[in-house]
A and B are shown apart, each in its own frame.
Chain A
Amino acid sequence: DQQVKQNSPSLSVQEGRISILNCDYTNSMFDYFLWYKKYPAEGPTFLISISSIKDKNEDGRFTVFLNKSAKHLSLHIVPSQPGDSAVYFCAASGSGGSQGNLIFGKGTKLSVKP
């Protein structure tokens, strides 16, 4: 039962270009969405979040877009840097924000080429 889906297991982008990572969800009760970055042998590191009352949230080079009608969110990284190379996880919660358990996607491995 994949409530959160990241259909692209990997993505390769040239340094300086835009990286777009996509995520789809099936549960309309989800109201809080997060993106995490993970390096090998480390835990997930929080990047950016968005609640369902918004359709966009921006933090520096990172922007998350939420399309509730399509049950789709995306993470844009502009400009991409080699240090952004990592696995990116989309996560969702339906219990009123961080108090609830997070449902994770399988992740997308981003490679940024110099």
Chain B
Amino acid sequence: EPEVTQTPSHQVTQMGQEVILRCVPISNHLYFYWYRQILGQKVEFLVSFYNNEISEKSEIFDDQFSVERPDGSNFTLKIRSTKLEDSAMYFCASSDSGYQPQHFGDGTRLSIL
């Protein structure tokens, strides 16, 4: 069964450094998402992406965050200057059009020191 893959599984970064989290969505999917889960808290929506542009973003997704689909397969989340509070599990998801479910990757654990 096709799946969403995320790399790396764990990223440790110094505060203030830039970090790029990578995702390969399911190949025929059209909608792409990033979510995060801070330890002990809910899974929270960050951003959705369709037709090469952001379709929706949350309050969390400020100017420090950006997303890109640099080629036909990868979908990346960049955090320009990381803060301690950015430490979380980051999940990528993708979906087909219409009333189809979002499928999630296994996440990247981001630890900011």
Contact = CB atoms under 8 A, between A and B. Distances in A.
A97 B33 contact: no
Contact of A42 (B55, B98, B101, B106): B106
Nearest to B37: A104
Given A43-B91, A45-B104, A49-B99, A99 B31 contact: yes
A51 B99 contact: yes
Interface residue range, chain B = 20 to 34
Nearest to B48: A101
B42 A105 contact: yes
Interface string B80-113: 0000000000010001111111111111000000
B95 A98 contact: yes
B42 A98 contact: no
Interface string A78-98: 000000000001010001011
Of listed A49, A97, A99, A106, residue having the most chain B CB within 10 A: A99
Q: Is the interface of A mostly helix, strand, loop or mixed?
A: mixed
Contact of A41 (B56, B96, B106): B106
B64 interface: no
B38 interface: no
Contacts of A101: 33, 45, 48, 56, 58
B43 A98 contact: no
B15 interface: no
A29 to B, nearest CB: 14
Contacts of A32: 99
**7 tightest A-B contacts by CB?**
A43-B104, A101-B45, A97-B99, A98-B95, A104-B43, A46-B101, A43-B106
